[in-house]
């Protein structure tokens, strides 16, 4: 599973980083067979037959623009199957490696999964953290607490 994820990531990054590749794949004037032949030639030894077949299907159906979404969906399904979860941790200041591992461990215990996190620094949070795992947001930021306090005060004032 990890090999397929790495291969998909390689292809997505190549397409996103080079506008010419994206134009080539999106061009309706080029036959899908030619597109696939060139991609097989360029990626052949780096990508498994499974990934090439998926790429061929997307190109044949003119859905190559969905490659990024396919990669995201695959990583979610694979991580769930392996008992893992991806998290994005938003903080006002960068966390140390030890602090980041502690947050991963705490949310891993909460979800009974292994949490792999990436960190995003957002100075407007003022303090605390926000953790997004899937479609859930755990908001422990100071700005979030102030917003909840303001909402409570407005509700009671009415």
9's tokens? 């990531």
pLDDT for 31-73, tens place per residue?
Answer: 888 888 888 887 777 888 888 889 889 988 988 889 989 998 8
CB atoms within 10 A of CB 39: 21
Residue 93 makes CB contacts below 8 A (sequence gap 6+) with 121, 123
pLDDT for 80-92, tens place per residue?
Answer: 888 888 899 999 8
Residue of 129 and 46 predicted with greater confidence: 129
Q: What pLDDT shows up at residue 131?
A: 93
pTM above 0.85, yes or no: no
């Amino acid at each position: 599973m990890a090999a397929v994820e790495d291969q998909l990531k390689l292809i997505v990054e190549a397409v996103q980083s080079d506008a010419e590749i994206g134009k080539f794949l999106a061009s309706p004037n080029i036959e899908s067979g030619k597109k696939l032949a060139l991609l097989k030639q360029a990626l052949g030894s780096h990508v498994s037959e499974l990934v090439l077949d998926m790429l061929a299907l997307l190109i044949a159906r003119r859905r190559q623009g969905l490659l990024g979404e396919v990669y995201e969906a695959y990583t979610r399904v694979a991580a769930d199957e392996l008992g893992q979860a991806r998290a994005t941790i938003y903080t006002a200041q960068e966390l140390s490696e030890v602090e980041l591992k502690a947050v991963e461990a705490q949310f891993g215990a909460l979800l009974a999964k292994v949490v792999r996190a990436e960190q995003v620094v957002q100075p407007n949070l003022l303090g605390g953290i926000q953790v997004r795992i899937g479609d859930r947001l755990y908001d422990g930021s100071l700005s979030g607490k102030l917003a909840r306090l303001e909402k409570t005060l407005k509700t009671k004032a009415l």
